[in-house]
Amino acid sequence: MAKFINKKEQVYDFKLTTYGRRMLSVGSLKPTYYAFYDDNVIYDSLYAGEGASEPQKDIHYRIKSETPYVESLTLFESVEDTINSKTSIVDFFNLNDMEEKKNTRKDVFRFDAAIGDAFLDGDINVAPAWKVVALQGLIISSNVKDLTNNINIPQIDIDSYYTKKIERDTFNYNPSNIRETVNKTSKFVDNRVVRLNQTEPLFYIEELNTQTLMENFEIEVFEVLSNPDGGEALKRKYFKREIPQIKNGIMLSPNKKQTAVSELTTDSVEYYFDVLVDSNVDQQLACKGAEIFNRQTYYIDFDFECEAEEEQSLFFDIYGTIVEPEICQS
């Protein structure tokens, strides 16, 4: 049971979650990031139904001296539910196959109102916001939160279509990317192949009214599983293709290495998807989509230049019929 903090004896309250305690017990707890929250602070009593706004000095005194605060909460379900949710025998020393890494607990998503970052030199009347543009694919719906799991994470539902088409086998002399050469089967006896036509999702995402840094985004992938009670459970997938070059401050290899495709398991993202970001995306496809939106004054800014390409394919016969002597003529 949570208790009220004694402000005369305690300045702040620090607690590890159950997952953090387990990582600490095996010597693998390495905190890297932190965040601040103010969801338990009412800055103006007008928003609490008092009917009138407070003077600034009264607000400061109320928050610092008159508001009681509860100790940190790290568990949001009973011990019985925690034990019954285990699907396998727990191996406390197998860090590579920890169930907590795959099946995240509900309390992980409770802290979803961290204080964000704002652009101090910008307009003070605007708040940080998202700009999401579908360059390929279709946004069919959106919501400010996950209503099924009651999580304050904005939801964007998209549609992407993959179709199979039977056609005659032809050789592509000028493919724009490697996918155009591997998206079909071998030739059948009737000189036909089955080709996979892909409309892969391609999105332009920008965080507005905040500082533009080199790495403003983190990508997490979850598999949505259905519970017997009709709810949903999230199973985390990990990016395992890239092998870290530096570990614990020590460079392991001078060059980047990748895990072989044959060694990837169903726990890795790359087993299901190829996730490309920034300059690694299909630039020709991205520029084509940006051109449509920019004409509608929906400005899109890439990290690479979109140049107009002339649609022409030149093929030269190196075994031509005209032969020029290599000896200089007098």
Helix (H, G, I), strand (E, B) or coil at 80: helix
> Which tokens go with 198?
């892909």
- The residue among 164, 110, 117, 156 whose CA lies nearest residue 137 is 156
Torsion of CA 5, 7, 9, 13, to 10 degrees: 50
pLDDT band, very low/low/confident/very high, at 73 (cuts 50, 70, 90):
confident
Which tens digit of pLDDT belongs to each residue from 238-256? 888 777 777 777 888 888 8
Helix (H, G, I), strand (E, B) or coil at 22: helix
Question: Cα(182)–Cα(207) distance, rounded to whole angstroms?
Answer: 35
Is the pLDDT at 314 greater than 60, yes or no?
no
Question: What percent of the chain has pLDDT above 70?
Answer: 78
Which tens digit of pLDDT belongs to each residue from 173-187? 677 667 777 788 888
Which tens digit of pLDDT belongs to each residue from 254-281? 888 888 888 888 888 999 988 888 888 8
Is the pLDDT at 55 greater than 80, yes or no?
yes
Residue 319: per-residue pLDDT: 63
Residue 194: per-residue pLDDT: 92
Is the pLDDT at 95 greater than 70, yes or no?
no
Q: Decide which of 5 and 119 is more confident.
A: 5
Q: Name 186's Cβ contacts closer than 8 Å, sequence gap at least 6.
A: 193
Q: Name 141's Cβ contacts closer than 8 Å, sequence gap at least 6.
A: 156, 157
- The residue among 196, 221, 190, 216 whose CA lies nearest residue 205 is 216
For the ranges 30-44, 64-78, 174-188, 310-324, the lowest mean pLDDT is seen at 310-324
Residue 282: per-residue pLDDT: 85
> How confident is the model over 99-105, as a mean pLDDT?
59
* Distance between start and end Cα atoms, the chain: 103
Is the pLDDT at 108 greater than 70, yes or no?
no
Residue 321: per-residue pLDDT: 57
Q: Name 140's Cβ contacts closer than 8 Å, sequence gap at least 6.
A: 157, 158, 159
φ, ψ at 32 (rounded to 5°) = -125, -40
Which tens digit of pLDDT belongs to each residue from 150-179? 777 889 999 888 899 998 888 776 776 677
What mean pLDDT value characterizes the chain?
A: 78
pLDDT band, very low/low/confident/very high, at 304 (cuts 50, 70, 90):
confident
B/e letters for 100-120, b = 16+ CB within 10 Å, e = fewer, are eebbbbbeebeeeeeeeeeee
Angle (CA) 122-153-231 rounded to 5° is 175
